[in-house]
Structure 1
């Protein structure tokens, strides 16, 4: 925003200090003068020392005013100079933290997010502002780094199906007698994966921007719907699904929360034991929050690996080459949707194998 030049805050504070000091000094001198007028007569009779004759009338107030006024003017001039100099120094000391905050803001504007103010001293308004700004810089730097990693990973993931498609088409052109049906099937599979990835990226962006309408939602109904939809997939993988729990009313986007529930149940099914696996989906109601818990059997996971599963395009070392590897955005989308609904996502490895995923959202009145 373009602004016309004006007085600096330091100069304004200096003039304010000096003006207040002049006002206080003027009031003090005025009080002294009023006090003198109250006890000093206007005129006085002078008496000769050698006889009893009166010597004449002496104007006391006029003489006193002539003596008081010049000295009062000198005092006010001194207060003006003292107020300007002292006010300039005090204003500079008071505004020094603000100057550091302003410099850090300019550096952040120019793209340097690693700088921190780290203002020393005891807690006050300026230091609270500096600490809040440092916290914002930490989160902003982490967010920018995450977005850069996400963009790089998304570019890589999108480039892979395009490169495969190009290779298949070049091979078909160089070999006119190649089986066309096999080529079409492979191109269809690659194209389907590219479409799934694009839709996942769009959903991830939509949830991250919180561009959705909030309405009353029952998580228990969404859990039942997601379970019924994925029941054929569970039967195909030999996985049994158990559902149960309380009515869990909350506020949010029904479409996004259904996608969240579907992703959790889908992951629990495909990342399970090769035979006789199980998935348990439960909902529970707390005084201020509602819980959606999805846990499954499967391979044992370390807490370190579990904490990275919500990163975009993170599938786990043993899962990358599986047929159901997906696009690597399932739990990342779950995390984004959870945060967009002011909730909390918790991943806890089970001792016997598998993982327990809990989504906690704000509760509303039924």
Structure 2
């Protein structure tokens, strides 16, 4: 944004300091004038020893003639002292702001690794510098995550395209190919590409928080999600159980349905080969959804990485309905978009225990106000 040139903050502070100092000195001299010179008479004569008028003692006019030039000289000195001292003091006071401005310009040029690290005791400038350092750290982490996500997304999207190209080249070189088999395989690859694209769009929508908010009963959403995935659970021999009480949160019904659907789908797919179980529980104060499932033992160090995009976990993926690696990443984004939290823990005996906590409707209303 183009702005016309103006006085620097340092010069403004210098003029303010000097002006205040001159005014204070002028008031002090005025006090001396009022409370000292006003008691001196205009003319004073003392009688001599022989009764005749003696010599004049200093009168008011004499004191004025001596006081006014000295006062003017003193005001000039105070002004000069105020300008020099104010310039030095303003420079010292604004030095932290200069470092913050330099860090801001570096960040604007793309250098997010720089930190201010302003030393000294806590004050307004140091609070600003610490807040700016925190913001730079978050921005650097987000940029790195976005770059990693873009690289992973490009790789995932390139895979079905490469497979499609290979299938078409093989079919072109083989005149006796089976068109039905080719169509089925192309359909499967295309379906995966569509699912991945829709997942990326959903993830972007959740990150941007571009949705209307309304009261949503999580217990009803959980029932709808489990009913939708019941055929998949029956096919895998997995039992799904829902329990809990009415839990009303504020948010998007469609996104919260996607959140619970992803959790239940993840719990069904990454379960025991047979005889597995999934339990979905809702509770209030705050509105909470808990999804836990049986399955293989998960190393504690692996669990936090499962919410990263395209991280499926070693040994947890099966050939059918494996998803596109964005299920829990979408869950985390939707939870954060609703100002909620997502917690993953390895379940004792195997499997995963997932907890999503959302703020109450009253809390969201007070936050919006």
Given the two structures, how large is their TM-score scaled by the length of structure 1? 0.97
Contact persistence 2:215–2:250 (CA under 8 A): yes
Give 3-state SS (helix, strand or coil) of 1:139's partner: helix
Match of 1:330 among 314, 327, 331: 327
Q: TM-score, normalised by structure 2?
A: 0.96
Structure 1 counterpart of 2:176: 177
Q: How many residues align?
A: 362
C-alpha separation between the residues in 1 aligned to 2:64 and 2:233?
Answer: 105
CA displacement 1:122-171 (0-9 Å, x = unmatched) = 10000000000000001000000000001000000000000000011111
Q: Distance in 1 between matches of 2:276 and 2:29?
A: 93
Structure 1's unaligned 5+ residue stretches are none
Gaps of at least 5 residues in structure 2 are 363-369
- The aligned runs of 1:127-276 (5 Å cut-off) are 127-276=126-275
Is 2:17 aligned against 1:17?
yes
Measure, in 2, the Cα distance between the counterparts of 1:175 and 1:302.
47
Residue number in structure 2 paired with 1:71: 70
Counterpart residue number, 2:289: 292
2:254, 2:165 → 1: CA distance?
Answer: 35
Distance 1:65 1:39 in 2: 13
Moved more, 222-231 or 37-46: 37-46
Q: Say which SS state the counterpart of residue 311 (structure 2) adopts.
A: coil
SS in 2 for 1:121: coil
Displacement, 1:59?
7.0
Q: Following the alignment from structure 1 to structure 2, what is the Cα–Cα distance between the partners of residues 236 and 318?
A: 20
Match of 1:312 in 2: 309
Contact 1:42 1:59 in 2 (8 A): no
Distance in 2 of aligned mates of 1:116 and 1:276: 54
RMSD of aligned alpha carbons: 1.2
Q: Distance in 2 between matches of 1:320 and 1:291?
A: 27
Q: Deviations over 1:198-250 (max 9, x none)?
A: 00000000000000000110000000000111011000000001111010001
SS in structure 2 of the partner of residue 309 of structure 1: helix
Query: Does residue 34 of the first structure (1) align with residue 34 of the second (2)?
Result: yes
Change in Cα spacing, 1:231 to 1:254, as seen in structure 2 (3 Å) is same
SS at match of 1:327: coil
Matched, 1:279 2:278: yes
SS at match of 1:279: strand
SS for the counterpart of 2:358 is strand
The aligned counterpart of 1:346 is: 343
Tell me, in whole angstroms, the C-alpha distance in 1 between the residues paired with 2:55 and 2:305. 105
Q: Deviations over 1:87-106 (max 9, x none)?
A: 01110110000000000000
Alignment partners' CA distance in 2, 1:219 and 1:47: 108
Structure-to-structure mapping, 1:55-70, within 5 angstroms: 55=54, 60-70=59-69
TM superposition shift of 1:41: 1.0
* Cα contact 2:213–2:251 (8 A) shared by 1: yes
Q: What is the alpha-carbon distance in structure 2 between the residues aligned to residue 70 and residue 321 of structure 1?
A: 98
Task: Tell me the distance in 2 between the aligned counterparts of 1:247 and 1:190.
Answer: 40
